[in-house]
Structure 1
Amino acid sequence: MAETYGVVVGAGSLRSSSDGAWRLPHRWTDEGVAVEAAFTGAHLLHVAAAGCVLNDVYREAAGLGITLQGVRVTAGGGFDGEWVSTGITYAVEVDTQASPDEVARLVAVVDEVAEIPRAIRAGAPVQRVSTAG
């Protein structure tokens, strides 16, 4: 089975306590975010998608009047022999008193609006530019 370059991004009550997690400040939570991922390009691509989804869960929950105790997003995906992504999958876990229907609506809205997953889905050119030495 091919490697999936999995990552976990969590905040609030679902924030990792692992010694190996990176800890970063976070606009939406006092405790910050914990990221469990190796430092490779493949993992960082998946961290970008998962981190964006986590941020947008907090943002959209605020707009919908949903109080969150915690959010965890897991993401991963593989690459073919030429290092072309075979796609990214992600899952969202939410710690809240909101109903399952409200959580489902929240996650569906986030799936539509999350900027980094949208950009990856649409594709974008990546170009090297010269830097002044």
Structure 2
Amino acid sequence: MEQFAVVAGAGSLRSEQGQTVGFPHRWTPEGVTVQADFTGAHLLHLAAAGCVLNDVYREANELGIPVTGVRVTAAGGFDTTTWASTGITYSVELDSDAPADALTRLLARVDEVAEIPRALRAGAPVRRT
């Protein structure tokens, strides 16, 4: 089964590789880089990765945890007979001088509050109008 992987990076963990697109970002002056093909599967996974990246910065700010860089990788597959998602997994790399226990708490909080992963976990109707 094919995996549709994406990478979103900001701050010190921005990507400078080829095939990278940059976007403005409210939490970092230099913006965010994205590595993803332009397919529906990749865009779905990018929505989750981008939300997690944003929420790391937002929640770190609220908790007073310094974050220099964030990189989120998200991937998942699809059952090619039904095109149902087999699920999305994501990992977060942080560049921070904060203690490991503070970063663990930060990532747990982000996993709890990140809006797009929460919406995907709950399911949502999608209708053409």
Indicate the TM-score class for this superposition, using the shorter chain for normalisation.
Answer: over 0.9
CA distance in 1, matches of 2:109, 2:29: 24
Identity of aligned pairs, percent? 68
By how many angstroms is 1:82 displaced? 1.0
1:32-111 alignment runs, 5 A limit = 32-80=31-79, 81-111=81-111
TM-score (norm 2): 0.98
CA distance in 1, matches of 2:120, 2:34: 20
By how many angstroms is 1:121 displaced? 0.2
By how many angstroms is 1:104 displaced? 0.3
For the residue of structure 2 that corresponds to 1:30, the secondary structure is coil
CA distance in 2, matches of 1:100, 1:19: 32
The structure where strand makes up a greater share of residues is: 1
Q: 1:31 maps to what in 2?
A: 30
Structure 1 segments unaligned to the other structure (5+ residues): none
TM-score (norm 1): 0.95
1:125 matched to 2:125: yes
By how many angstroms is 1:18 displaced? 1.4
User: What stretches of structure 1 move > 3 A for 4+ residues in a row?
Assistant: none
**1:84-115 CA deviation, whole Å, 9 max, x = no partner?**
00000000011000011000000000000000
CA distance in 1, matches of 2:21, 2:128: 28
For the residue of structure 1 that corresponds to 2:24, the secondary structure is strand
For the residue of structure 2 that corresponds to 1:26, the secondary structure is coil
CA RMSD, 1 decimal: 0.5
1:7 matched to 2:6: yes
Q: How many residues align?
A: 128
